[in-house]
Homo-oligomer: A and B are copies of this chain.
Amino acid sequence: MSFDPGSGNIAVNDPLRDEIAAAVDAVRDTTPLAQSLTNFVTINFVANAQLAVGGTAAMHYSGEEAGALDSAGASKATYINMGTLLAEFRDEYPAAARDAVERRLPWVLDPVGAGAGKLRGDILRAFRETPPTIIRCNASEAIALAGIWGLDGADSKSRAGVEAHDEIEAAIPAAHALARFIGGVVSVSGAVDLVTDGERDFRLPGGSVWMTKITGAGCSLGGVTATYACVARPLVAALAAALHYNRAADAAERVAEGPGSFQTAFLDALWNTTADEIAQSPIYA
């Protein structure tokens, strides 16, 4: 594993573990709605993953609908994913982000493909004015987004990111800069996931290589992170979502015979994994 062997697993009775377990239970008990503006490739998987962890899903492409769901108190968090953009998203996505920020509701950004294309760049630049609460991304996207926002860490070797090519460690300066800028949390997915609030780094080993052989593992983790943000503070939401994913992936890998059966087993495992299994995962800090 690529993380500092000097760091250690947090204690079994660390209060953070209680907060994580409480978040898992709260989602299952209250079925909160996190609304999503997300790409067409994996929109079905995002919705099914949110349902499988116990939440509720509503998808649309409208700033006005975002405001309606926010103001009605129906949606407790917003998820915006930057894949498969259409021209009209140029105004709609920033409007949805603005509405969340004005109402002090958490919102989660997945900057899919950051660095590729003018429309994507324009929308990501607009988000600088109404920054997300949590960023869920891969290493290359963290570096690219730091560059778009003019933050530190952008001078790492970056590339338009649709896959987790760069090592997590190379993205740490960018992740720190992003977390501090948004005053929230950055969750970088990789062989060992990194969750940071800019001060403290948490590394989460485990998960499955099958996650890179199905489409939507990262996108749906973003959606589930928004589901958890309905019931927990950003750091706990990001940790609970990433750990829930890793434990479900472990379970699915044990029975998968290929990427098709892995995806089916993964959704089953999101439903069946216990709060205790999630909260007692290895968490290196």
Which residues of A229-256 have CB atoms within 8 Å of chain B's CB atoms? none
Render A100-129 as a binary contact track against B, CB cut-off 8 A, 1 for contact.
000000000000010011111000000000
Query: A1: CB under 8 A from chain B?
Result: no
Determine if A215 and B160 form an interchain contact, defined as CB atoms under 8 angstroms apart: no
Q: Count the A residues whose beta carbon is within 8 Å of the partner chain — how many?
A: 60
Q: What string of 1s and 0s marks CB contacts (under 8 Å) between A48-68 and chain B?
A: 100110001111111011001
Q: Is A74 an interface residue (CB 8 A)?
A: yes
Docked complex Cα distance between A43 and B74 (Å): 24
- State the CA gap A271–B214 with chains docked (Å): 11
Whether the pair A264, B269 counts as a contact (CB closer than 8 A) is no
Q: Please give the distance in Å from A9's CB to the nearest CB on chain B.
A: 29
CB contact under 8 A between A213 and B51, given known A261-B264, A264-B261, A267-B258: yes
Residues of B within 8 A of A259 (CB): 48, 51-52, 267-268, 270-271
Stretch from A14-22, A79-87, A171-179 forming part of the interface with B = A79-87
CA distance A275 to B19 in the complex (A): 49
- Known contacts A44-B44, A87-B88: does B257 contact A214 (CB below 8 Å)? no
A85 to B61, CA, bound (A): 7
The closest CB in chain B to the CB of A120 belongs to: B65
Q: In the bound complex, do residue A60 and residue B44 qualify as a contact, i.e. CB atoms below 8 Å apart? A: no
Q: In whole angstroms, what is the CA distance A208 to B84 when docked?
A: 32
Q: 30 A-B pairs, CB-CB below 8 angstroms?
A: A33-B162, A39-B59, A41-B43, A44-B44, A44-B216, A48-B259, A51-B213, A51-B214, A52-B258, A57-B215, A61-B84, A61-B85, A62-B119, A68-B117, A69-B116, A72-B159, A74-B159, A74-B160, A86-B88, A257-B272, A258-B267, A258-B268, A258-B269, A258-B270, A259-B267, A259-B268, A260-B265, A260-B266, A261-B267, A261-B268
